[in-house]
Amino acid sequence: MAGHWGRFNVVSLVFGFAFLYLPIVLLVIYSFNESQLVTVWAGFSTRWYVALFSNQGLLDAAWVTVRVAFLSATTATVLGTLAALALTRYTRFRGRVLFSGMVFAPLVMPEVITGLSLLLLFVAMNLDRGFMTVTIAHITFSMCFVAVVVQSRLITFDRSLEEAALDLGATPVRAFFQVTLPVIMPAVLAGWMLAFTLSLDDLVIASFTSGPGATTLPMKIYSQVRLGVTPEINAVSTILIAVVSVGVIVASLVTKRAEVQRRRDEQMAARG
Amino acid sequence: MNRLLAALASRLVIVVPYLWLLVFFLVPFVIVFKISLSFTALAMPPYTPVFDLQQGLSGLMAALGELTVENYLWLFQDQLYVNAYLSSLWIAAVSTVLALLVGYPLAYGMARAPESVRPVLLMLVILPFWTSFLIRVYAWIGILKPEGLLNQFLFFLGAIDEPLIILNTNTAIYIGIVYSYLPFMVLPIYATLERMDHSLVEAAQDLGCPPVTAFWKVTFPLSMPGVVAGSMLVFIPAVGEFVIPDLLGGSRTLMIGKTLWQEFFSNRDWPVASAVAVILLVILIVPIMLFQRAQARAQEKGL
């Protein structure tokens, strides 16, 4: 499409982005509010951030959340990458339709259904609800997101590279680790980050599948939000937003650099 | 030996994720279905009949004999549930249309922007999606409440004398859903518009077609796959949404996700909660199939 700024386009962009960002910006600004009343500005203060670090319940919940997110994202990335490989490499196997259905369905499945069904499974299996069950639940839905991200990269992957490695005597497993994986690595990392933030973010599924002693940060925030808007919640939110934004921006810069490097390498290789 | 290992590896690639999804995605649905056919009991787990494999076939038959469709009859007799389903579908549909009205111009503006700034714009749309859903919904409470920032701003402008009551109404839910799911609408539409061959529009205009007509006759039909995908990505999760109606909606707001949650956590009625989930799934099967077909088609094209 030809690129030029039209008046209509500029207006819709400005309006759209204002709508997307204004609530977040306001939330961040009011986290630095001196007043206990969230919507009345009473001067700049960092007191709510200080209060945050003496709130043991919140800190414990944050620690649980980070551990669940790390463990579930890592497992989901392995399983999701395998699922993506299965879907792109093996076009025919028994139950493939069911398999691809199970990979895509969780992407749009209402969370209350996923949460309820997993909880009933854990009860039927007599598993104690807690850290492990939340992690398993998060792995299950986030591996599907990883699979979609990795699959879109695998589709455009030039298989002749892998075939060349096989011709040169590499085993398929070795060819995968030495040729395919490095090429799809940006997508795998993006999938990991997506899985990590999905886990960090989840309230509904965690509420169903968690048990005593495994309260996650969103569950903690939710129970406080129900009691009303407080500057402390604004402060937690601001920290979360900052961490995630910095992570996403750094990751995108790194993948962009890796992409540029890869293109340069390919050009060098083509020139011989 | 190596060949054996390779064959084993290729099997594992399929078997491991397959098994995982079978056990943790498909089997749970079977259990939900089974429990939705059970009687409510005050035991833990609070339902009967309890399915016991050790009793063998006769036990299975006995258990089957005890199954009941009572929970489903209950759902259809009680106006509360019927209304909750209908109002969820209505709220999700209205929100999807609103998201399309906000998202399409945004996607269009992005696709028509100079190529050099497109990655930045794309990033700006994706970034809010990465930040916590709960927090983004929470941010609107402070804006929409009677003494909130929106009303303060309107007072300041002198546009209103009385605060607008938006929080705890359906309007707040619409705003919340459009806001939270906007990236899901924008991204698929942007993808189709960005790939579109703009010379088609130019050809139409060269042949005397006014720009607005050219848009409706050329651009919009070509972006239809993106519109369908985006709408499904908003509509399906919105129907079962819990957080938004719970935080932004009022006590009179009926949405099925909220009803299921209350049935489960407050009333502790697992069989009815399961029946609610089964019917919700049945309602959503058509849109989910539409979405999957669109996904599969996009995949075949290698997009």
Domains, chain B, ranges and CATH? 72-300 (1.10.3720.10)
Q: Is B147 on the interface with A (CB under 8 A)?
A: yes
Contact A201, A8 (CB under 8 A): no
Degrees to nearest 5, angle at CA A219 with A216 and A225: 140
Residues near A230 by Cβ (< 8 Å), separated by ≥ 6?
A38, A224
**Helices of type H across chain A:** 7-30, 47-52, 56-89, 96-108, 111-124, 131-155, 159-167, 172-175, 181-201, 204-209, 217-225, 231-271
pLDDT of residue A64: 93
Nearest-Å Rg of the Cα atoms of chain A is: 23
Comparing C-alpha atoms, which of A110, A40, A27, A116 is closest to residue B245?
A110
Tell me the C-alpha distance between B25 and B185, whole Å.
Answer: 26
- Work out the minimum CA distance from A148 to partner chain B, whole angstroms: 10
Nearest CB neighbour to B133, from listed A12, A38, A201 = A201
Tally the residues of chain A: 272
Q: What is the dihedral of CA A35, A39, A42, A47, to 10 degrees?
A: 40
pLDDT band at B165 (very low <50, low <70, confident <90, very high): confident
pLDDT of residue B43: 42
Q: Note the ipTM here.
A: 0.86
- For A202, the token pair is 């989840």
Average pLDDT, chain A: 86
Contact A122, A133 (CB under 8 A): yes
pLDDT tens-place string over residues B37-84: 876 654 445 455 555 545 555 555 555 556 677 778 777 777 888 889
* Residue A69 CB neighbours (<10 A): 23
Q: What is the dihedral of CA B56, B60, B66, B70, to 10 degrees?
A: 150
Contacts of A123 in chain B (CB under 8 A): 45
Contacts of A203 in chain B (CB under 8 A): 133-134, 243
Tell me the C-alpha distance between A110 and A157, whole Å.
Answer: 32
pLDDT tens-place string over residues A200-248: 889 999 999 998 888 999 999 998 888 777 788 888 888 888 888 888 8
pLDDT of residue A211: 84
- Asked if residue B8 has pLDDT above 90, the reply is no
pLDDT of residue B40: 60
Torsional sign, CA A108, A112, A115, A118: negative
Q: Are B240 and A113 an interchain contact pair (Cβ–Cβ within 8 Å)?
A: yes
Contacts of A104 in chain B (CB under 8 A): 291-292, 295
Average pLDDT, chain B: 83
- Asked if residue B292 has pLDDT above 80, the reply is no
Share of chain A above pLDDT 70, in %: 97
Query: How far does CA B132 lie from the centroid of its chain?
Result: 16
Can you give the pTM of this predicted structure?
A: 0.85
* Greatest mean pLDDT range, A32-36, B6-10, B169-173, B285-289: B169-173
3-state SS assignment for residue A230: coil
Comparing C-alpha atoms, which of B103, B111, B106, B122 is closest to residue A3?
B111
- Asked if residue A14 has pLDDT above 80, the reply is yes
Which of B106, B151, B246 is the best substitution to test chain A (most A C-beta atoms within 10 A)?
A: B106
Higher per-residue confidence, B104 vs A44: B104
Is domain A56-235 given the CATH code 3.20.20.450 in the classification? no
Q: Is B269 on the interface with A (CB under 8 A)?
A: no
For the packed helices B270-300 and B27-36, what is the interaxial angle rounded to 10 degrees?
Answer: 140
- Asked if residue A3 has pLDDT above 60, the reply is no
Block residue for tokens 């959503």: B284
Least confident of A53-67, A220-234, B10-24: A220-234
Could you report how far apart the first and last alpha carbons of chain B are, in Å? Answer: 38
Q: Is A192 on the interface with B (CB under 8 A)?
A: no
Q: For A6, list phi and psi in degrees, rounded to 5.
A: -110, 165
Contact B110, B103 (CB under 8 A): no
**By CA distance, what is B50's nearest residue in A?**
A124
Tell me the C-alpha distance between A22 and B139, whole Å.
Answer: 10
Contact B117, B109 (CB under 8 A): no
- Asked if residue B158 has pLDDT above 90, the reply is no
In angstroms, the Cα distances linking B13 to A86, A170, A191, A206, B16 are 6, 18, 18, 28, 6
Q: For A33, list phi and psi in degrees, rounded to 5.
A: -80, 135
Block residue for tokens 């994706």: B126
pLDDT of residue B303: 46
**DSSP conformational letter for A39:** T
3-state SS assignment for residue B78: coil
- For B86, the token pair is 């209908």
- Asked if residue B240 has pLDDT above 70, the reply is yes
Nearest CB neighbour to A244, from listed B130, B179, B193 = B130
Q: Biggest alpha carbon distance in chain B?
A: 83
pLDDT tens-place string over residues A150-199: 988 888 887 888 888 888 888 888 888 888 898 888 889 889 988 998 89
3-state SS assignment for residue A42: coil
pLDDT of residue A33: 83
Comparing C-alpha atoms, which of A52, A187, A237 is closest to residue B136?
A237
Contact A115, A137 (CB under 8 A): yes
Comparing C-alpha atoms, which of A194, A81, A66, A56 is closest to residue A134?
A66
Residues 48-77, chain A, touching B (beta carbon < 8 A): none
**DSSP conformational letter for B218:** I
pLDDT band at A115 (very low <50, low <70, confident <90, very high): very high
